[in-house]
Amino acid sequence: MSLLSGVSAFFGLDIGTTAVRLVELRGSYPKTLVKYAFIPIDSKIAMSDSKADQQKLAQAIRELCSQARMTTENVAVGIPSGRVFTTVVDIDRLSPSELSRSINYQADSLIPTPLAESKIDWSLLGDSPTDKAKAEILLSSVPNKFVEERLDLLESVGLNVISFEPDNLALARAMVAPGVATPQLVLDIGSKGTDLVITMNDAAHLTRAIPTGAEAIIRSAAQNLNIDDKQAEQFVFKFGLSKDKVEGQVYQAIISTIDLLTTEIEKSIKFFETRYQGQKIDRIIVTGGASAMPEFPLYIANKFGINVEIGNAWHNVSFGAARQNELLAVSNHFGVAAGLAERTE
Ligand SMILES: Nc1ncnc2c1ncn2[C@@H]1O[C@H](COP(=O)(O)OP(=O)(O)OP(=O)(O)O)[C@@H](O)[C@H]1O
Ligand SMILES: [Mg+2]
């Protein structure tokens, strides 16, 4: 859903698990940074659908917009990956209008929720790699109920929603420069989970929501080292996957949880490289709070024999050189919000 055409000013809003974040940009590619801001939230309220928690969330968003002195109410909002179903499907080549009809007709058998209760969106990726006669599309669906509740929530704080977009698509837009043809695997390791997206030729070709994130990693450190969560968090972000710090105890405590994640990454790479014969993942780009664990990028690079890069949320944004350090310090947390703000259609 997008009503961006005709809208001049808007901002991207990422309602994450541990914080709500916004980014406002202006101009055309590369857009210039106007402002960014965030407000921490209790992770319990972000996950809850209860009225009381929704009101707390509304209050946090209201505060964020007022602290950041926002001058536009137009907002492009992300949809958390846990709420979106995304799939790539091959379908008969048809004219655009017939394609639309055909997808609607077939959608019920392609998505997990009833079509009547879901909002679907799709984009044409190109020729199917497996069937010459067909085209492939990226299809996503979100329950109407979730979209309607988010709309009500944001309207209640005076915002005007101009578009909804899955978090992982926004993330890919922020992390990968336009025009990169080779496959890039982007990982956003957040608090509750990890978003994975593989892009090729400026489009997402595979997305996965993996239920392992900072919380699970910290919990395994707390349990295996017999320490409290606060201390576990400090240890995880101080020693990470380093085998020669504190005799590798932190590494030992968290590695099986980390490998829940790497197993899913491996499956996604296999799936992608099997479907797109001859294509190899060129680079893995890591971002999100938990990607700051020491030696995590190195561990991934060694595991897969693929170059790993620390993602930069501001990769496709222009800003004054004096702000470089300040912006890089928050980069891990702003990929989704920046990508939402970079939307042009
Ligand atoms: N300097 C830091 N500031 C905030 N969080 C940090 C920092 N260093 C590490 N972390 C970890 O990062 C996690 C938050 O990551 P991130 O901001 O990517 O999550 P999120 O976007 O709120 O969650 P999700 O994407 O799962 O909804 C926290 O759980 C925390 O353990
Ligand atoms: Mg996030």
The two three-digit tokens of residue 145, written as one number: 């109920």
For atom 29 of ligand 1, which residue has the closest CA?
A: 191
Name the maximum alpha-carbon separation found in the chain: 63
* pLDDT value at residue 8: 79
For atom 21 of ligand 1, which residue has the closest CA?
A: 16
pLDDT in tens, 217-260: 999 999 999 999 999 999 999 999 999 888 899 999 999 999 99
pLDDT at 6 over 90: no
Q: Which helix (H) or strand (E) holds 267?
A: helix 249-275
Q: Residue 59 C-alpha to ligand 2 middle, in angstroms?
A: 20
pLDDT at 77 over 90: yes
Contact 266, 274 (CB under 8 A): no
pLDDT in tens, 262-298: 999 999 999 999 999 999 999 999 999 999 999 999 9
Contact 332, 285 (CB under 8 A): no
- Model pTM score: 0.95
pLDDT at 299 over 50: yes
What's the rounded Cα separation, in Å, for the pair 107 and 137? 12
For 70, residues 6+ apart whose C-beta sits below 8 A from its C-beta are 11, 22, 24
Angle at 41 between CA 37 and CA 43, to 5 degrees: 135
For atom 10 of ligand 1, which residue has the closest CA?
A: 289
* pLDDT value at residue 150: 95
User: What is the best residue among 14, 17, 77 to mutate for testing ligand 1's pocket, by most ligand atoms within 8 Å of CB?
Assistant: 17
pLDDT at 141 over 90: yes
Query: Which residues are bridge partners to 120 per DSSP?
Result: 141
What's the rounded Cα separation, in Å, for the pair 99 and 93? 7
> Domains in the chain, ordered, with CATH?
84-142 (3.30.1490.300), 179-311 (3.30.420.40)
In ligand 1, the atom with minimum distance to the C-alpha of 218 is 31
Per-chain mean pLDDT for the chain: 95
Of the pLDDT bands very low, low, confident and very high (cuts 50, 70, 90), residue 1 is very low
- Nearest 10 degrees: Cα torsion 5, 64, 333, 239: 180
Alpha-helical regions (H) of 42-183: 43-47, 51-67, 96-110, 144-156, 167-175
Q: Which numbered ligand comes closest to the C-alpha of 40?
A: 1
- Which residue ranges have their beta carbon within 6 Å of ligand 1? 16-19, 190-193, 213-214, 233, 237, 288-290, 292, 333
Q: Which helix (H) or strand (E) holds 92?
A: strand 85-92
In ligand 1, the atom with minimum distance to the C-alpha of 233 is 31
Contact 336, 171 (CB under 8 A): yes
pLDDT at 206 over 60: yes
Q: Find the mean pLDDT for residues 163-184.
A: 97
pLDDT in tens, 34-57: 999 999 999 999 888 899 999 999
* pLDDT value at residue 39: 98
In ligand 1, the atom with minimum distance to the C-alpha of 80 is 27
Contact 181, 201 (CB under 8 A): yes
Q: Which residues surround ligand 2, an ion (CB under 5 A)?
A: 16, 190
Q: Residue 232 C-alpha to ligand 1 middle, in angstroms?
A: 14
Q: Find the mean pLDDT for residues 296-313.
A: 98
What's the rounded Cα separation, in Å, for the pair 35 and 12? 11
Contact 196, 264 (CB under 8 A): yes
Distance of CA 263 to the CA centre of its chain: 19
Q: Residue 95 C-alpha to ligand 2 middle, in angstroms?
A: 37
Contact 196, 208 (CB under 8 A): yes
C-alpha distances (whole Å) from 3 to each of 6, 10, 132, 136, 317 are 8, 11, 34, 25, 22
* pLDDT value at residue 309: 97
pLDDT at 96 over 90: no
Q: Residue 138 C-alpha to ligand 1 middle, in angstroms?
A: 29
